[in-house]
Amino acid sequence: MIVGAAARMSGFTAHLRRHGFTVGPAETKLVLSVLAAEEFPDVATVRLGLKTLLSGNRDQWAHFDDLFDAFWFGRGLRAVTPAQAEAGVRNRNPQPEIWDKVLPREETGSAMGRAEHSQGNGVGPNARGTGRLIASRNDALSRTDLRTLTTPEEAVEAERIAERLARAIRYRLSRRRTPARRGETIDIRRTIRRNLSRGGEPIELRRKHRPERPVKLVMLLDASGSMEVYSRYFISFVRGLIGRWLHADAFLFHTRLVHIADALRERHPGVAMARLSLMADGFGGGTRIATALKTFNDRYAKETLDQRTVVIVMSDGYDTDSPEALAVELRRLKRRAHRLVWLNPLLGWKNYEPVARAMSVALDYVDYFAPAHSLASLAALEGELARL
């Protein structure tokens, strides 16, 4: 019986982990030790106890009840069997956790609330289903390669979601907190762990605070002809990252470099794009990445970069400049910045290999190389930035 309970609780923590909770074997052991005290007379009390122990922030607290019901009772949310879940992992990348934070409830909540829970597939209090959420229509859009969007409605919706994703990433990065002896906020999870030996009474508090020096972002967006099918969505994404809560700057390049942060800060999207179109003469033309990086290093790097800065290059890596010139400028860039991230939409294509000369050279200097062909791949950037 104990072994079975441990297995089920391990399944539940794995279910939470798939939906953004930072839980693992230590949390499973903690929960089992608390439940072994037999001080929980009913399911409601157990739910509240688990919610307190396993929720690490307000977002997790808000979503815990839905995830609890989905795993233990199969209510409201559709669950899939382990075989289905395994097939899903083979067919697509895991859904970035931030995706569920961005779409308003009227878009996702109704779709999930209407979803039927599977019959005879392991859903229920004694089942072994994974509780993975079934994708809504926006989830499908998030995984679609942006170059395949054909209707104006799809394109506008993708631009809107790209900007909202970036705003959510910006906000969450600026609000994240780390452990601190004299932090302004109590860390509930670490406090509970620390006081287990005292019967759970919060005698000794653990705290957390917001870092004084948050990460800084500098984005370099390729607007050449080969990137034209992706550029409009990347511009919306970059616009969402520019704002009050995060130090961020943005540049656009093709055969030359243009500083676009001020234009993107315009409150009205139409005004922002009008300013951008006037500034970006040559948009959709050739690409000179090395020349653009040299301009950045000569004019902007000294005042823009420091050891807390992450430089994000959004480009397919096709360059008419020499690979040797690109290597020189990337080396200069790396000396000033903390990390260099390269997002390449072609990396999301089947059987793509970075064999272009410029891209092959760039990989020697890149700290994080990832696809950027879909909204979900852009959302996955938050995980890399949150680790800094």
In this structure, is residue 87 part of a structural domain? yes
Looking at the structure, tell me whether residues 188 and 231 fall in a common domain. Answer: no
Looking at the structure, tell me whether residues 354 and 253 fall in a common domain. Answer: yes
Cross-sheet strand order for the sheet of 207-209: 178-180, 207-209, 185-186
User: Residue 100 has what pLDDT?
Assistant: 55
Range of the domain at 309: 216-386
Q: What is the residue-level pLDDT of the chain in tens, covering all 388 positions?
A: 445 677 788 888 888 887 878 787 778 888 887 777 666 667 788 888 888 888 878 778 888 888 888 888 776 544 433 433 433 433 444 555 555 555 444 333 333 333 333 333 333 333 333 333 333 456 677 888 888 887 888 888 888 888 888 877 776 666 555 666 666 677 776 777 777 776 666 667 777 666 555 678 999 999 888 898 898 899 888 888 886 656 889 999 988 899 988 888 887 766 777 677 666 665 666 789 999 999 999 999 999 998 889 999 999 999 999 999 999 999 999 999 999 999 999 998 888 888 888 999 999 999 999 999 998 888 888 777 766 5
Nearest to 317 by CA among 251, 262, 267, 372: 372
Domain termination residue (choose one: 62, 92, 122): 92
User: Residue 218 has what pLDDT?
Assistant: 93
User: Residue 23 has what pLDDT?
Assistant: 80
User: Residue 65 has what pLDDT?
Assistant: 87
Looking at the structure, tell me whether residues 55 and 195 fall in a common domain. Answer: no
Domain termination residue (choose one: 66, 92, 118): 92
User: Residue 281 has what pLDDT?
Assistant: 64
Looking at the structure, tell me whether residues 199 and 324 fall in a common domain. Answer: no
Q: Which amino acid is at 265?
A: R
User: Residue 199 has what pLDDT?
Assistant: 65
Q: What is the pTM of this model?
A: 0.59
Nearest to 2 by CA among 27, 39, 28, 41: 28
Name the one residue in this structure whose structure tokens are 């420091």: 306
In this structure, is residue 24 part of a structural domain? yes
Looking at the structure, tell me whether residues 203 and 257 fall in a common domain. Answer: no
Number of structural domains in the chain: 3
Query: What's 294's domain CATH number?
Result: 3.40.50.410
In this structure, is residue 138 part of a structural domain? no
User: Residue 48 has what pLDDT?
Assistant: 84
In this structure, is residue 103 part of a structural domain? no
User: Residue 280 has what pLDDT?
Assistant: 61
Looking at the structure, tell me whether residues 195 and 260 fall in a common domain. Answer: no
CA distance 185 to 182: 9
Looking at the structure, tell me whether residues 328 and 239 fall in a common domain. Answer: yes
Looking at the structure, tell me whether residues 323 and 205 fall in a common domain. Answer: no
User: Residue 277 has what pLDDT?
Assistant: 67
User: Residue 41 has what pLDDT?
Assistant: 66
Looking at the structure, tell me whether residues 202 and 72 fall in a common domain. Answer: no
Domain termination residue (choose one: 54, 75, 92): 92
In this structure, is residue 118 part of a structural domain? no
Q: What does the H/E/C string look like for the chain?
A: CHHHHHHHHHHHHHHHHHCCCCCCHHHHHHHHHHHCCCCCCCHHHHHHHHHHHHCCCHHHHHHHHHHHHHHHCCCCCCCCCHHHHHHHHHHCCCCCCCHHHHCCHHHHHHHHHHCCCCCCCCCCCCCCCCCCCCCCHHHHHHHCCHHHCCCHHHHHHHHHHHHHHHHHHHHHHHHCCEEECCCCEECHHHHHHHCHHHCCCCCCCCEEECCCCCCEEEEEEECCHHHHHHHHHHHHHHHHHCECCEEEEEEEECCCEEECHHHHCCCCHHHHHHHHHHHCCCCCCCCCHHHHHHHHHHHCHHHHCCCCEEEEEECCCCCCCCHHHHHHHHHHHHHHCCEEEEEEHHHHCCCCCCCCHHHHHHCCCCCEEEECCCHHHHHCHHHHHHCC
Looking at the structure, tell me whether residues 202 and 270 fall in a common domain. Answer: no
